Amino acid sequence: MAAQYAISGATAKGITSSVEQAVTEGGLAPGDALPPVRRLADDLGVSAGTVATAYKELRQRGIVVTRGRGGTVVAQAPAVGTRRPPKVPQGVRDLAGGHPDPALLPVLLPPDRVDPVSGSHRGSPRRAGLEELAREWFARDGVPDDRVTFAHGALDCMARLLSVELKPGDAVAVEDPGFHHLLDLVPALGLRMVPVAVDDEGIRPDALRGALRAGVRALVCSPRGQNPVGGCFSEARRDALLEVLGGFPDVLVVEDDHNADIAGPPAYSLAAGGLARWAQVRTVSKHLSVDLRWAALACDATTLARHEGRMLLTSGWVSHVLQETVERTMADPAARALVGRAERAYTERRLALIGELARRGIPARGASGMNVWVPVRDESAVVNGLRSRGWWVAAGSRFRIATPTAVRITTAMLEVADTAPLASDFAAVLGESEATYGG
């Protein structure tokens, strides 16, 4: 509790640093209350305005939230903390990491030689061949390809888009449950998260409408392979969401199609629906290599200009050595064939586990992608119970904001033959936890 940690500081900056250090070191935990402004001001011998300024800075950075009469408390996912997964124990099958199967990743084709660069690549930041491949990649699924650029991965791209579009304190609609790194990123940028519920068809129109009416200025969502639930837009769902978004033309819609080539179902993209402000981000880390930190971005003219302007001021461009490696690998027929095999294998493995769980009366979700989301009553009991049987799965708390408890199982490296033993162990663990917690 806050009473166990003495906040210090004679300036707003000092108070802010003291609270941040306490959160980082565990002296203040999520949900702990900070002292009222006037009380802390009296304790520290500073003005109430100084404390109010410090609290405002903490709110803008996502470290604390204000709950009206409930006062100021440490955020449930403070921006100085992370949702990083725990270390995988020895001797267990890792089904928690969300990683692709290395056996289904192609051998990379880097350039044979790298000639010295005269000056810099700021004048020509994108290799023409890779830009053309990226345009074809987007056009294949109906995404407008007339404005395309590159970034250092999906999160790098989304961080830049949100930081140039929004100011601290603005609200962003995010999927709930959603991608845990994004749920860390948004408050780290000083932005507020507004959770939007998802189902097997992605974000729900009613939940999106509520978030838009609450004043969000941006939406980040996945059209397919949604992490962790696996939802994917149907054509009807896509159209319903576009109808809702039509009343809010100034909201920036960012689609994260991070596993476009291995998600399974076809794409029904919001980006193809004539939005005024939109962007779609695609990466190759799930189907070519986890070490290729490269992303392609298609977007409207305003979004492109803002992204490029900030990029120019920071890294300037994506390494051309990396770009050539991506280009050569994307164009390689053998690599393309292996990606096709990977998509079929991931679909088969995911559906096999869902089917085996269903045969044991356990409902699970996973309409696309590489993960299966299984609702449970007690996440810790299930995670620890499966660990004792040699399986390591992810507790849903890393991905949730307000949605019910569950666990996420990554099926990318789970052979079909192993799905029945896992499902049997899962059923046994559920039986044990129900007996422990009263059925």
State pTM to two decimals.
Answer: 0.83
User: Which residue matches tokens 């305005």?
Assistant: 49
DSSP state of 33: B
In 14-127, DSSP assigns E strands to 64-66, 72-74, 93-94
Print pLDDT tens along the chain (439 aa).
344 578 999 999 899 889 988 887 778 888 899 999 999 999 999 999 999 999 988 887 778 888 777 789 988 766 665 556 778 888 999 999 999 999 999 999 999 998 888 888 988 999 999 999 999 999 999 999 999 999 999 999 999 999 999 998 899 999 999 999 999 899 888 888 999 999 999 999 999 999 999 999 999 999 999 999 999 999 999 999 999 999 999 999 999 999 999 999 999 999 999 999 999 999 999 999 999 999 999 999 999 999 999 999 999 999 999 999 999 999 999 999 999 999 999 999 999 999 999 999 999 999 999 999 999 999 999 999 999 999 999 999 989 988 999 999 999 999 999 999 999 999 999 998 765 444 4
In angstroms, the CA 286 to CA 339 distance is 10
Tell me how far CA of residue 377 lies from CA of 356, 382, 406, in angstroms: 20, 9, 7
> Does 168 sit behind a cis peptide bond, omega within 30 degrees of 0 on the bond before it?
no
Return the sign of the alpha-carbon dihedral for residues 52, 55, 61, 65. Answer: negative
Q: What's residue 2's pLDDT?
A: 42
The radius of gyration of the chain's CA atoms, rounded to the nearest angstrom, is 23
**Does residue 225 contact residue 258 with C-beta atoms inside 8 Å?**
yes
**Does residue 193 contact residue 172 with C-beta atoms inside 8 Å?**
yes
39 sits in which H/E element? helix 37-44
DSSP 323-342: HHHHHHHHH-HHHHHHHHHH
In angstroms, the CA 208 to CA 253 distance is 12
